Structure 1
């Protein structure tokens, strides 16, 4: 079974059925799992999170399953402080998890693929900030 992370840009996920789902859980009823979702607030943030250096880190984590951030830095041939900063950003957005392995943090990825959706306006955006520009 493929584990997919559904990613949208600039929209909030529909939570209209949240009350029903919580009620079913409280009543010990079976609940259908919802797909995992990540909402990115702006196109600029999306570009920062999914820049090539971060995608390289995600790929290295999946392919090599490093035991620590330091090992990950060696795999991608980058300085550990830079990789640590990028790894924490990915973890802050839920794209990776950091598991305690003694004194080290082991980066892990729980999904197999991304699915992107959402509307991206081509007019009215300041390309540096994603703030709408007055016409």
Structure 2
């Protein structure tokens, strides 16, 4: 069974359904019929969350299932404080779950794939740059 996280770029974040899905997974319930959705408020936020360093972390979590953030940092050859910051951001957006493992936190990904959708208006883009300064 493939579990898909559906991500849209929207004007306001809506993580309520995601929290319910995570709770159902924790309780061992079948969540196949529950849609998992995440709305990201802007294109700039989307770019920050899915930058290459974060994608590398997601890939390492899926491939190696590390027991801690420190182990994840070793896998990607980065400093643990930097990885902790990125992992916390991913957890804040519901892309990973952090499971208490003694004093450590174990990063877990509960989905198998990510599906992106949404309409991007070139007039209303918030990309964090000042296009009026272009030559």
Q: Normalized against structure 1, the TM-score is what? A: 0.77
SS of structure 1 residue aligned to 2:34: coil
Instruction: Tell me the SS of whatever aligns to 1:2.
Output: coil
Q: TM-score, normalised by structure 2?
A: 0.77
Report the structure number with the largest CA radius of gyration.
1
Query: What's the C-alpha RMSD, in Å, of the aligned pairs?
Result: 1.9
> Which residue is equivalent to 1:90?
90
Q: Number of aligned pairs?
A: 112
1:34 aligns with 2:34: yes
Q: Deviations over 1:74-125 (max 9, x none)?
A: 0000000000000000000000000011000000000000011111111243
Deviations 1:35-86 (A, max 9, x none): 1000000000000000000000000000000000000000000000000000
Which runs of 5 or more residues in structure 2 are unaligned? 15-31, 130-135
* Unaligned 5+ runs, structure 1: 15-31, 130-135
> Residue 117 of structure 2 aligns with which residue?
117
8 Å contact kept, 1:2–1:112: yes
